[in-house]
Structure 1
Amino acid sequence: MATEQLGQYEIEYAGVRLTDVDGWAAWLEIFGPTPNPMHRNAIFPAQRVAVQTLFSTEREAEQEARRIGHEMVERGGRH
């Protein structure tokens, strides 16, 4: 699982192999600011994103999860 820091937020994303079908899913978790550096504050719990899409490679799924993570953080930061 890859990790990126985006300002005060941290995203973790991955391509996850599906066992029931031949393909990959995009997986994402987002952590927000916390006063305790020993505790990560999951504001978007780990879950599949782009659920309507079945990816043919792990890399494609990972990149879509990354794109969605960036979009969610940027959109949330404007409010």
Structure 2
Amino acid sequence: MLTETIGDYEIECSGIQLPDSEDWVANLAIYAPSTNPMHRNDIFPSQRVAVDVVFSSEREAEAEARVVAISMIEDRRKE
């Protein structure tokens, strides 16, 4: 699992292997700043992204989840 801070946001990108398959899917969670250090403010709960695509490795799936996260954060900043 890849965890990274981008600006004020924390992202968790992971690849999850499909059951009975060698393929992987991209999974993403995004957390926003919280006033309580013991609490994570999830603005995008952990879920599969790039739902029409499977990947041949965990690393490829994580990389795609990161691309989606960056795009979502940039869109949020424009609001």
**TM bin (shorter chain):** over 0.9
Give the aligned partner of residue 72 of structure 1: 72
Give the aligned partner of residue 45 of structure 2: 45
Q: Find the residue that maps to 2:35 and give its secondary structure.
A: coil
Q: Find the residue that maps to 2:5 and give its secondary structure.
A: strand
Deviation, structure 1 residue 7: 1.1
- 1:6-52: per-residue Cα shift (whole Å, max 9, x none)? 11110000111110433000000000111101100111000000010
After TM superposition, the score normalised by the length of structure 2 is: 0.94
Q: Find the residue that maps to 2:62 and give its secondary structure.
A: helix
Runs of 5+ unmatched residues, structure 1: none
Residue 50 of structure 1 aligns to which amino acid in structure 2?
A
After TM superposition, the score normalised by the length of structure 1 is: 0.94
Percent of aligned pairs sharing the same letter: 53
